[in-house]
Chains A and B, each alone.
Chain A
Amino acid sequence: MADLILELKDVHVSVGETEIIRGLDLTIERGTVHALMGPNGSGKSSLSLALMGHPKYRITSGDVRFEGKSILDMSPDERSLAGMFLCFQYPSAVPGVSVANFMRNTLMARQKGAAPLTPAKFKSLLDDATKRLKMDPAVLARYVNDGFSGGEKKRLEMMQMLVLKPKLAILDETDSGLDIDALKIIASGIEAHRSPEHSILLITHYQRILNYVKPDVVHVLVKGKIVKEGGFELAEQLESGGYDPFIKDLVEA
């Protein structure tokens, strides 16, 4: 039997009165990288926020299972501690809280009952992640996302993923708005995290990043539904033909 990290069964998501995701099925095996591609307004970000438990993005029917267990009744922090992680497209600032302090708190939340993290171990965890992402070490003393540029925010999200090592990372358009050098750095971060224990759901509008991070499975999301699944060749097909053929199919169906 396949070792599933995430299963979505007929998931519907609403924001207010508007249904955004309309009956979505998706399964992710442990250790695989899935790309979820779709045009603007297809519901990509809504799905990622709903999976992490954002109170405004309500899962109105269907089920979401993480390691075989339904997470619908779990709060965002419980989902995080269970091993889920969201790389935000638009992360919030936390003024007055340094990156180092923030990371210490997130790690401590995972240490409950276990042996405390030594300062040396903590430092090396952060140093490794910042080095890999070519970040200025001074970032650790800055306040979380406060006055960060778009690119700096993306790297900080990526850095948190590398430090927290989640079983499932959902990357919500982490590639958007980056120049090619920054994109390569982000891609190398994703590749560094990729392992038989770590699964990744890479949500993107563009095929571009998939040149550096080759997904095992590609899904196409249009208007709240998965309209096509396949291998890497599907991404290449999108690159040349765009989303229009899929949108047309949906309209005709």
Chain B
Amino acid sequence: MAVKQTELVDKDYKYGFRDETANYAFKARKGIDHDIVEQISVMKGEPQWMRDFRHKSLDIFLAKPMPPWANLDLLGQIQFDDIYYYMRASDVEGKTWEEVPEEIKRTFDRLGVPEAERKFLGGVTAQYDSEVVYHSIRKDLEEQGVFFSDMDTGLREHEDIVREHFSTVIPPADNKFSALNSAVWSGGSFIWVPPGVHVTVPLQAYFRINAESMGQFERTLIIAEPGSFVHYIEGCTAPTYSSNSLHSAVVELIAKEGAHIRYTTIQNWYKNIYNLVTKRAIAHKNAHVEWVDGNIGSKLTMKYPSVYMVGEGAKGEVLSIAYAANGQHQDAGSKMVHAAPNTTSIITSKSVSKGGGRTTYRGLVKVYEGCEGVKSNVRCDALLMDPESRSDTYPTMEIDAKDVRIEHEATVSKVGEEQLFYVMSRGLSEVEATTMIVNGFFEPFVKELPMEYAVELNRLIALEMEGSVG
């Protein structure tokens, strides 16, 4: 290994994902109140403004009801008093490989995920060995002046930038779960790209050696200065195990004039997890924001990546897929807010429900008065694998401008007997044929992924089909 241990713990390790608080023996008790929030902020040694922000956010969380339109049968099962809201990294690392469910270990094997990586994904992080890869990327970034660290480090080392942008895209009062995240956030990524800089390699959260990169209440802030480009990849196709049942992230993207941000997510949480995420981007003049969002795992996911186009000529895109098997509900969609003329949005949503799984598309296209020349195209395709499965589409359009072009198309199809018979008649078994049809359905998404992700995703779908056919 090229990187020495001493380098990794060096105080000058600028982009290190080391948690300064790791030496504290601290684990908050279960439940949430102002004492817990105060403890978290003190532990992290945060400035007063962040501490105040957390307390204010907690009040909002406590006062806000659950969203009335959500799947309250599932949401109602969350026991907020029975959750640890802050655990030091070492508590998470302390978990042993033996505790990871067999089912997940088998899936790792079959996906061909290397030993070190699977331990990391299983939450056993201490041995993760990707520093070598990370180190070389880090050097390139350093030369370009890019800041890339976990959010806690970002706050410590670049407080001015953080304070200027933090929570400007998603205020705590946006929804109950953004308020919760604002009160207890920990980890997540901080990225700042200087003007005109194009980051050529995708930045990946999972190169990190800190458990908190996949923490419970991640807080990610990406700022792309004018004319810059960055691609960030969150998560991975391999199943992510966590003993924590509630994950609630907030992701804020700011694309300044002419900047381009692409944010790719593959979410494959274990099927016990509530994944309630708020993701939103601001796109300034001629900026371009793309969300590429894949949801495979979790018990209930609620996630509607949004782009607020506030400058003329801005462009927002969402390409998402969702897969829901028995016991899962993928409630996903997108919001496109056109707050400037000649802005363009594209939403492409594809979902597959199988074995009683449920998918929901919730979308909003809003065009403010005076925003002429807006174009928006929304396309939702749902594929039902059997009569027990369910898919619903709730599109909303609020158009207050003239001279706009808005297109919406939604389809629900079934894997037809004819289609399955056709493929099987060429020598493919029922599982192989179903896998081919589902992979084909997801193809527009898969071809946007980096190669290794695309390959893993195709294999993952094959495993899902094997598990549930026949």
Chain A residues packing against B (C-beta within 8 Å):
52-56, 75-77, 79-81, 85-86, 88, 91-97, 102, 105-106, 109-110, 143, 160, 164
Contact = CB atoms under 8 A, between A and B. Distances in A.
Chain B CB count within 10 A is highest, among A76, A80, A94, A105, for: A76
A96 B444 CA distance: 7
A217 B456 CA distance: 52
B232 interface: no
A95 B383 CA distance: 12
B436 A105 contact: yes
Contact of B432 (A52, A53, A105): A105
B450 interface: no
Interface in B406-441: 416-419, 421-430, 432-433, 436-437, 439-441
B417 A86 contact: no
A14 to B, nearest CB: 16
27 contacts: A53-B421, A53-B425, A54-B421, A55-B417, A75-B429, A76-B424, A76-B425, A77-B425, A77-B427, A80-B424, A80-B427, A94-B419, A94-B422, A94-B437, A95-B440, A95-B443, A96-B442, A96-B443, A96-B444, A97-B439, A97-B440, A105-B436, A106-B428, A109-B426, A109-B427, A109-B428, A164-B426
Nearest to B438: A96
A54 to B, nearest CB: 5
A75 B425 CA distance: 9
Contacts of A85: 425
Counting chain A CB atoms within 10 Å of each CB, the highest count among B423, B425, B442 belongs to B425
Contacts of A93: 419
B436 A77 contact: no
A109 B430 CA distance: 12
Contacts of B417: 55-56
Given A92-B416, A94-B419, A105-B432, A143 B425 contact: no
Contacts of A105: 426, 428, 432, 436
Contacts of A109: 426-429, 432
A80 B439 contact: no
Contact of A75 (B423, B430, B439): B430
A164 B273 CA distance: 46
Contacts of B430: 75, 77
B160 to A, nearest CB: 47
Contact of A55 (B421, B439, B440, B442): B421
A76 B422 CA distance: 9
Contact of B424 (A75, A88, A91): A75
Contacts of A88: 422, 425
Given A53-B421, A94-B437, A96-B439, 15 more contacts: A52-B425, A55-B421, A77-B426, A77-B433, A80-B424, A88-B422, A92-B421, A92-B422, A94-B436, A95-B441, A96-B440, A96-B442, A105-B426, A109-B427, A164-B427
B440 A80 contact: no
A113 to B, nearest CB: 14
Contacts of B436: 94, 97, 102, 105
A97 B427 contact: no
Nearest to A106: B426
Contacts of B424: 75-77, 80
Nearest to B429: A77
Contacts of A56: 417
Contacts of B426: 77, 80, 102, 105-106, 109, 160, 164
A160 to B, nearest CB: 7
A76 B428 CA distance: 9
A53 B417 CA distance: 12
Contacts of B439: 96-97
A92 B419 contact: yes
A86 B425 contact: yes
B384 to A, nearest CB: 15
Contacts of B441: 95-96
A93 B429 CA distance: 18
Nearest 6 CB-CB pairings of A with B: A96-B440, A96-B443, A97-B440, A109-B427, A80-B427, A92-B422
Given A56-B417, A75-B430, A105-B436, A94 B423 contact: yes
Contacts of B418: 92
Of B424, B426, B443, most A-chain CB atoms within 10 Å? B426
Nearest to A95: B440
A91 B422 contact: yes
Given A95-B441, A97-B439, A143-B440, A80 B425 contact: yes
B446 to A, nearest CB: 8
A143 B440 CA distance: 9
B419 to A, nearest CB: 4
B427 A81 contact: yes
B340 to A, nearest CB: 35
Contacts of B423: 92, 94
A97 to B, nearest CB: 4
Contacts of B419: 92-94
Nearest to B441: A96
Interface string B12-46: 00000000000000000000000000000000000
A92 B428 CA distance: 15
Contacts of A75: 424, 429-430
Most chain A C-beta atoms within 10 Å of own C-beta, residue among B418, B422, B428, B436? B422
B421 to A, nearest CB: 5
Interface string B367-378: 000000000000
A76 B430 CA distance: 9
A231 B421 CA distance: 34
Contacts of B443: 95-97
Contacts of A76: 421, 424-425
Nearest to B446: A96
A85 B427 CA distance: 9
Contacts of B440: 94-97, 143
A102 B428 CA distance: 10
B382 to A, nearest CB: 14
A85 B417 CA distance: 18
A85 B424 CA distance: 11
Contacts of B432: 77, 105, 109
A102 B422 CA distance: 12
A114 to B, nearest CB: 13
Nearest to B440: A96
